[in-house]
């Protein structure tokens, strides 16, 4: 069924370059495939807010922020292990926004590992509030478990993080790591590597503010170059016109 659909399509758009190999292996010509990634909603942008939203956390601390689903795929086991490695550094604080089926487990692990002073569960907020929260972080975190399908995808979280011009610290394999590393938009390590994630966070926490800002600038420059909505709409419009011209349907 998949091969039939691919063979009877004029173009195949993929949201990650990691998908191309699998499609080509099904006997599909590579020139039929185009990379067309997701973009972030327009509300995700760099903003400044005077109101401090993280009242329980010192303003001069180093704040790592995660926003989204607290589930099995996000590998909170490794995140908790990383927090445990770094807990003696009382300047480093973890802020978790969101909910999910692993939320109660994470709360139990915070208590078990005595992480209450550095690991903060803020609960869920409307998506419109996220850029305001992001603006008060020093870096934005995402992670996924070590599975092949995750290594060839680009999670939507990547685009929204990039669009807010913040350094990214990621524990992930494959395409998402390549994007962040290639743009020097943060630091990455392989999935399920809490020791390496701890080293990267330690490194970021010791950076000067202007160096962190440079990583954030690289992040939004990457977003504007490869993921910005209007640019992508122009690209697909051009692609459609090229296909129409080749098919001789100009009159339509």
Q: Could you report the per-residue pLDDT of 84-123, keeping only the tens digit for each?
A: 999 999 999 999 999 999 999 999 999 999 999 999 999 9
157 plus 86 within the same structural domain = yes
Residue 24 lies in a domain: yes
Residue 38 pairs with which residues in a beta bridge?
A: none
> Is residue 131 within 8 Å of residue 43, measured between CB atoms?
yes
The answer as to whether 250 is a domain residue is no
CA dist 32 and 39 (Å) reads 22
For the domain that residue 210 is a member of, what is the CATH number? Answer: 3.40.50.2000
**For the segment 121-146, what is each residue's pLDDT rounded down to a tens digit?**
999 999 999 999 999 999 999 999 99
**Enclosing domain of residue 100:** 62-226
191 lies in some domain: yes
Say yes or no to pLDDT of 224 above 50. Answer: yes
In the sheet that holds 168-171, the strands lie side by side as 119-123, 92-97, 62-67, 139-143, 168-171, 186-189
The rounded distance, in Å, linking the Cα atoms of 30 and 19 is 11
Q: What are the tokens at 195?
A: 């020791």
234: nearest Cα among 248, 189, 242: 242
Is the domain of 91 the same as that of 9? no
101 and 32 within one domain: no
Tokens of 19: 């998908």
Query: Based on the domain organization, do 73 and 158 belong to the same domain?
Result: yes
User: Is the model's pLDDT at 246 over the cut of 80?
Assistant: no
Answer yes or no: do 30 and 94 share one domain.
no
Q: What digits encode the pLDDT tens for the residues 68-90?
A: 999 999 999 999 999 999 999 99
Q: Does some domain include residue 247? A: no
Distance CA 244, CA 88 (A): 62
Query: Does residue 89 sit in the same domain as residue 160?
Result: yes
Rounded distance between C-alpha atoms, residue 148 and residue 29, angstroms: 23
Provide the token pair at 45: 């942008």
Whether 10 and 85 map to the same domain: the answer is no
User: What's the chain's length in residues?
Assistant: 252
For helices 175-183 and 156-163, the axis angle rounded to 10 degrees is 20
Q: How many CB atoms lie within 10 A of CB 150?
A: 20
Tell whether 8 and 71 lie within a shared domain. no
46 domain-assigned: no
In whole numbers, what is the pLDDT of the chain averaged over residues?
A: 94
> Is the separation of the CB atoms in 15 and 152 below 8 Å?
no
Q: Residue 43 in contact with residue 127, Cβ under 8 Å? A: yes
Identify whether residues 28 and 75 lie together within a single domain.
no
The verdict on residue 51 lying in a domain is no
| CB crowding 198-230: b at 16 or more within 10 Å, else e | bbbbeebbebeeeebeebbebbbebbeebbbee
Q: Is the domain of 14 the same as that of 69?
A: no
pLDDT tens sequence across 32-57: 999 999 999 999 999 988 889 998 89
Provide the pLDDT confidence category of residue 30 given band limits of 50, 70 and 90. Answer: very high
Determine what percent of the chain is predicted with pLDDT higher than 90.
91
Question: How many domains does the chain fold into?
Answer: 2
pLDDT given for residue 250 in this prediction: 53
Give tens-digit pLDDT for 143-186.
Answer: 999 999 999 999 989 999 999 999 999 999 999 999 999 999 99
Is 195 within the bounds of a domain?
Answer: yes
Residue 42 lies in a domain: no
- 248 pLDDT band, cuts 50/70/90, is low
Same domain, 110 and 23: no
What's the whole-model pTM score?
0.91
Same domain for 32 and 142: no
In this prediction, residue 251 carries a pLDDT of 47
Quick one: pLDDT at residue 56?
86
């Amino acid at each position: 069924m998949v091969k039939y659909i691919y063979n009877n399509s004029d173009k195949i758009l993929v949201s990650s370059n990691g998908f191309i190999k699998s499609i080509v292996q099904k006997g599909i010509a590579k020139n039929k495939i185009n990379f067309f990634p997701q973009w972030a909603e327009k509300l995700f942008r760099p903003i400044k807010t005077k109101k401090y939203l993280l009242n329980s956390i010192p303003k001069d601390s180093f704040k790592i922020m995660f926003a989204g689903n607290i589930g099995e795929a996000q590998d909170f086991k490794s995140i908790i292990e990383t927090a445990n490695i770094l807990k003696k550094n009382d300047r480093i604080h973890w802020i978790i926004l969101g909910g999910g089926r692993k939320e109660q487990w994470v709360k139990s692990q915070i208590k078990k590992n005595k992480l209450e002073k550095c690991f903060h569960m803020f609960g869920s907020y409307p998506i419109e509030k996220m850029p305001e929260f992001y603006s008060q972080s020093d870096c934005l975190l995402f992670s996924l478990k070590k599975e092949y399908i995750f290594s060839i995808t680009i999670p939507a979280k990547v685009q929204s993080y990039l669009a807010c011009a913040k350094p990214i610290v990621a524990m992930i394999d494959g395409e998402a790591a390549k994007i962040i590393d290639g743009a020097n938009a943060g630091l990455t390590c392989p999935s399920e590597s809490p020791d390496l994630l701890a080293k990267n966070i330690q490194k970021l926490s010791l950076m000067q503010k202007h160096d962190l800002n440079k990583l954030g600038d690289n992040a939004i420059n990457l977003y504007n170059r490869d993921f910005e909505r209007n640019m992508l709409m122009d690209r697909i419009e051009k692609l459609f016109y090229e296909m129409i011209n080749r098919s001789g349907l100009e009159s339509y």
